[in-house]
Amino acid sequence: MAGKLAAKRTGRRTFCPKLDKNDPEGKTVAIEIVADWNQVERFRRGNIRTDIIDFNGYWGGNLTIMVPAAWTVQLEFINGSSSFRHSLIVTKVYAQSEMPVKLTAEDAIWGAYTHPPEGIKLKERRQLKFVAKDVGSYLLACARQTHLMDGHWIYFEVRDGLVQAVAIVDESKFPQEQPPGRP
């Protein structure tokens, strides 16, 4: 049984991130992650968000993707940027003040990262498949240059007791004038 990922919202804005497909019988979830989804919009608006690079329109932990423990996660990673290389890596949670200048392959949890960590080219895509075998909190981050410190990351949680993967938007982490997600 395949089903759409359900999005829960914690604030007043309404936006449903259309990220993926859930397959509870096969214990698999497929998630499409697009780097720099909002690039065109943030440049169109002038100086807004120019220093914030996103995944599917989210950054700096304002989206959490939660998956059930022991599920297989199939990530389709697309560099949607027209200017910059980006990558995708599963890594541990860092406080802002502890973030390394950049992440390397050794920082990958379960060996999950797109090659090369410095980023794939514009409009390229990579598939990343891994089993979310350890319950815990992680980041889905970009390993390129200073992108982690710049906010190019979202939360990734592995939990017992979930019936399917969900995406949770934290609306308190958006500047008021900037709605979450894709414009």
Q: Which positions lie near Cu ion, rule CB under 5 A?
A: 53, 86, 142, 144, 147, 152
Distance CA 26, CA 40 (A): 37
Nearest by Cα to 68 from 134, 142, 140, 152: 134
C-beta closer to Cu ion: residue 49 or 86: 86
C-beta closer to Cu ion: residue 5 or 53: 53
Distance CA 161, CA 165 (A): 11
90 touches 113 (CB < 8 A): yes
The minimum distance between CB 181 and Cu ion, in angstroms, equals 18
Longest dimension (CA), the chain: 46
- Residue number with the shortest CB distance to Cu ion? 142
The minimum distance between CB 133 and Cu ion, in angstroms, equals 26
C-beta closer to Cu ion: residue 60 or 68: 60
User: Any idea which residue has 């395949």 for tokens?
Assistant: 2
The minimum distance between CB 148 and Cu ion, in angstroms, equals 8
C-beta closer to Cu ion: residue 120 or 165: 120
The minimum distance between CB 35 and Cu ion, in angstroms, equals 6
Distance CA 180, CA 9 (A): 11
